[in-house]
Chains A and B, each alone.
Chain A
Amino acid sequence: MNNDKLIIGGHEFNSRFILGSGKYSMKLIEAAVKDAGAEIITLAVRRANTKEHENILDYIPEGITLLPNTSGARNAEEAVRIARLARELGCGNFVKIEIMRDSKYLLPDNVETIKATEILAKEGFVVMPYMYPDLNTARDLVNAGAASVMPLASPIGSNKGLATKEFIQILIDEIDLPIIVDAGIGRPSQACEAMEMGAAAIMANTALATAGDLPMMASAFKQAIEAGRKAYLSGLGRVLTRGASASDPLTGFLRD
């Protein structure tokens, strides 16, 4: 397990839990990062506040890789613009592309996401596109230079779990990049299931932000993700099509 690294764009990580930082107090970030064991945390870019307001960077521990998203972008052009601003903020060259055209379902626009991936990969970004799990799109993202593919499990913030399970499995089986399940994972058991399927990592935000005890839930997710990873690496036991199979010897019965 010690050699089991998550590699994204040539960067190695031990943790397979990518933590969101939205919708909860900045004061909880340090505890969340620690209890999640997270090494990557997502952020958004917005119009700046002045110094009377706290800045989130003051709350993120040293050594954590920042993954700015392009939320707010409605097309590739806007996503590229936000990504460039994020890089100008001076915290590395990772970017999670997030392009949405509607505010009701918040579904990613796969076509625009491919376009933005191609532009930003050429500019040297480590591009992690959030996408609707579709094999053709995923292949286009690979060709466009993505460093990972981030399919949604269910609508953002819904905590509904692996609604797209079959399609995520196809991506895991066919795409030679880390498949990071993003959006909709609401419970540790769902994170564990995705990891058992062979997902490379899990990204979660709302599941923690809306939990009763955020740091404790971060810890629960950490354990579930590690359990699922171990199960995947170990190889799951087979499932019988029908019938039963005794675990006990079928000889030496105390009868006759």
Chain B
Amino acid sequence: MVKVNGEPKDIAGKTIAEYLATTNYDMKRIATELNGDIVPKAQYGETVLQDGDSIEIVSFVGGG
């Protein structure tokens, strides 16, 4: 299992790019962190998710 924004998903073995292709995120408006480290967009295609990984996908929202 891989945690995506806190939710477990059965996506171990996929690359980040493969996983994101199954979602509806706006690729221009997100940043991704794998186990606490930022993954540059250029590395999405070569970064394979392992069982136990945790990824965070973030974007901007309104704030003070």
Contacts and interface: CB of A to CB of B under 8 A. Distances in A.
Given A44-B61, A44-B64, A52-B24, 5 more contacts: A22-B64, A49-B59, A85-B58, A89-B59, A183-B64
B31 A51 contact: no
B33 A45 contact: no
B56 interface: yes
A62 B63 CA distance: 18
Interface residues of B, number: 23
A239 interface: no
B64 A71 contact: yes
Interface string A5-26: 0000000000000001111101
Given A52-B24, A85-B38, A89-B31, A47 B63 contact: no
A22 B62 contact: yes
A84 B38 contact: yes
Given A48-B29, A81-B36, A85-B38, A71 B57 contact: no
Interface of B: 5-6, 23-26, 29-33, 36, 38, 40, 56-64
A43 B31 contact: no
A65 to B, nearest CB: 13
A89 to B, nearest CB: 5
A66 B26 CA distance: 19
Contacts of A135: none
Contacts of A26: 62
Nearest to A18: B64
A85 B26 CA distance: 16
Contact of B63 (A43, A51, A84): A43
A26 B60 CA distance: 12
B40 A88 contact: yes
Nearest to A48: B59
A2 interface: no
Contact of B25 (A48, A66, A85): A48
Contact of B61 (A46, A66, A88, A205): A46
Nearest to A66: B60
A47 B33 CA distance: 11
A46 B59 contact: yes
Contacts of A71: 63-64
B60 A51 contact: no
A21 B64 CA distance: 6
Contact of B24 (A42, A44, A47, A50): A50
A252 B63 CA distance: 62
Interface string A51-81: 1100111000000001011010000000001
Nearest to B60: A43
A26 B63 CA distance: 11
B25 A42 contact: no
Nearest to B28: A90
